[in-house]
Amino acid sequence: MRLKTTVLTLAVFLLPHFAADSAAASGEALMETDNENIFFEEWDTPFGIPPFDRIGDEDFRPALEAGFEAQRERITAILANPEPPDFENSILALELSGTELSRVWSVFSNLTSTDTNETLDALELEFKPRYTRQQDAIYLDPALFARVDAVYQSLDEAELDPEQRRLAELTHRDFVRSGAALPLETREQLKEINARLSELSARFGQNLRAETKNFELVITDEADLAGLPSDVVSAARQAAISRGHQDAWVFGLDRSSFEAFMTYADNRDLRRRLFDGYRSRGAQGNEFDNRGILLEIAWLRARRAGLMGYSTHADYQLAVNMAKTPQRATEFLLQVWKPGLERARGELVDMEGQAFGDGVKDFQGWDWWYYAQRVRELRFSLDDDVLKPYFELSRVQEGAFYTANRLFGITFHPLADVPVWHPDVEAFEVRNPDGSHLGIFMVDYYARDSKKGGAWMSTYRDASDIDHPVRPIVTNNLNLIKPGEGQPTLLSFDESETLFHEFGHALQGLLTTVRFERFSGTSGLPRDYVELCSQVLEHWARAPEVLSVYARHYQTGEVIPDTLMSRIEASSTFNQGFGTTEYIAASLLDLAWHTMTAEETTGISDARAFEAETLGDYGLIPQIEPRYRSPYFAHIFSGGYSAGYYAYLWAETLDADAFTAFTESGDVFDPELAERFKKYIFEAGGREEPEILYRKFRGRDPDIQPLLKIRGLGDD
């Protein structure tokens, strides 16, 4: 998942018009406000890494206030410029207007995701809507839009290079899609809607984090641990100690902990308790209930889309995606849904037969992971107790670094004694093939209560090259179970693929060579394209040429045997019916929420009933839950994937087709292909439309058949 923290948010609430007598855009207000505040100093740290060891919660309020003011001063200077609007004094000046604010906001928004507390949570609820208002003060200002529009209308006469023209075009599009060309009354309504949406999305995420944190399955009888791998048991003991439980084991709702227990625990009743805890989050009638929040979010989004001239929120969102329309996205999903659901029904029959032998006559959702693993072990002789020792965390990371080196020539060098936001964080300097500095890569792999769930890439600084080269600071975040003291972190193969996935996002942020942050790295890319670079790396994670390098036994150093590699490959399409169906079910649910008019959303009073009816109409079998139920569907109600969760599968069409180019060449590190891949995909950011960039790499449009084949849903 890609989490963007520094890109301008286009939806929000208008401040009073910038004062005409404000100071020139020098950022002096920011630097003179508080000499004791670390954000008002130059950071004398290696590579400009934020000085996390010196940043206190109390620093954020004055720094954010000063950052807002500095940007307002810069915007006022643009508006007061008597010269006719041109690229330099309007488009570029606007691009640079948030420099000081971005410096603070990137740290703040990252920490509220990775290491938050009550103080930061309160600040987030206050400042996230204010940040949104600040951006509306820009993107809904008619005088500022007039300058941007004047530059846009004269593009054909202007002497601009392709990247300057691209920045002007995207800036103009940002204003139009924010509502800048709409009447004053409509803009005022948009302000109110955007401010409320910003507050609601923050509350949704905080509620979900609280629900996840508050649940714990405490086990005191060792017999109830039957079936669980030793490393999972050890981690559960460590979790219990950290939560104040003696002589116990604790399992929570972080995805790694949840799936491990659901996959291996023999105790069916405990699997059900954990399953119910997971799927009831945000819908328990307590202070963290998200159902009312998500209903209001859906209504406000639909209302805003109507004001913007679109039929639905999905129509608005997808207009700038590769899919273009919700109808096309839905048709695409159903093209894969039908064979996936058919496959899932066959998988269910296999597992019911296995479960019946254990006396289970009412196979349920909390049985699926467990019996899928049993069938997998029987069919492929793949026991995770045998497999996981070959996937120790540091070696898997080395495999990702090896892949990047073979494809792109870059190298990763550990950094000691640099500031980090948590003791679990590691930092690396990334260097070009000639040894020059490329960027900083930081990893935060373990779950904790102060961290949101899931896996994502983010940035503390984006790359740019306007007056001088600025190289990025990129992070990867996972939620792995932390092992017991002195124990190795052993991953499942799925977790290894997730590490490669997020690393792919990181590579796009690190390798980018574009000049402007607006389309640097993953910035501003369509949702259904941005997952290409992440998902394509998963193919290398399972390539024999790569497995033989990083999949080594953590104790002996023995390379994973060919027999196990063959079994991994043979099992690659196992349980894909379930995986495909639970994912597409969530994607269809997302589109259902966002293909309604505002009036239609007011007719919904029960979010759970709505999703049950929606997925029932598509024929979802009751033993499969959607990957996310609505009250904990953070991707769409708290993150940036509203009407866009389908994007992972759409991008899978691209990544499957792209990796097929390498396999067809006979070399997964083919130098010529790798060079084109780097140039047109990883380095290019958003300097051109994604369809154009992909064709430049592949020589044609992508084909869906590789996706179906890789998932085991198409013809061999």
Q: Are 335 and 660 in contact (CB under 8 A)?
A: no
Q: Please, what sign has the CA dihedral across residues 135, 138, 142, 146?
A: negative
Q: How far apart are CA 259 and CA 272, in angstroms?
A: 12
Tokens at 238, concatenated: 């460590």
- CA pair distance 116, 349, nearest whole angstrom: 45
Q: State both tokens at 588.
A: 């269809």
Can you tell me the distance from the alpha carbon of 712 to that of 343, in angstroms, rounded to the nearest whole number? 9
Copy the structure tokens of residue 103. 């410096």
Q: Is 683 a catalytic residue?
A: no
Which is nearest to 135 in space by CA: 182, 89, 186, 68? 68
Question: Hey, what's the torsion of the CAs at 130, 134, 139, 145, to 10 degrees?
Answer: 150
Catalytic member of 95, 502, 611, 652: 502
The C-alpha angle with vertex 150 and arms to 146 and 155, in degrees rounded to 5, equals 150
Q: What secondary structure does DSSP assign to 142-190, as a single string?
A: HHHHHHHHHHHHTTTTS---HHHHHHHHHHHHHHHHHTTTS-HHHHHHH
Rounded Cα gap, residues 18 and 158, in angstroms: 29
DSSP 39-105: GGS---SGGG---GGG--HHHHHHHHHHHHHHHHHHHHHHHH--SPP-IIIIIIHHHTTTHHHHHHH
Whether 538 and 399 have beta carbons less than 8 Å apart is answered as no
Query: For the packed helices 184-214 and 118-139, what is the interaxial angle rounded to 10 degrees?
Result: 160
What is the phi/psi pair of residue 490, to 5°? -100, 130
Residue 269, CA distances (Å) to 101, 175, 212, 350, 638 in order: 51, 54, 20, 22, 32
Contact 47, 163 (CB under 8 A): no
Residue 644 tokens read as: 């866009």
Spatial separation of the C-alpha atoms in residues 99 and 381, rounded to whole Å:
56
Dihedral through CA 335, CA 337, CA 342, CA 343, nearest 10? Answer: 110
- Return the amino acid letter for 528: D
Chain centre to alpha carbon of residue 323: 19
Structure tokens at 297: 């979010």
Residues with catalytic roles: 502
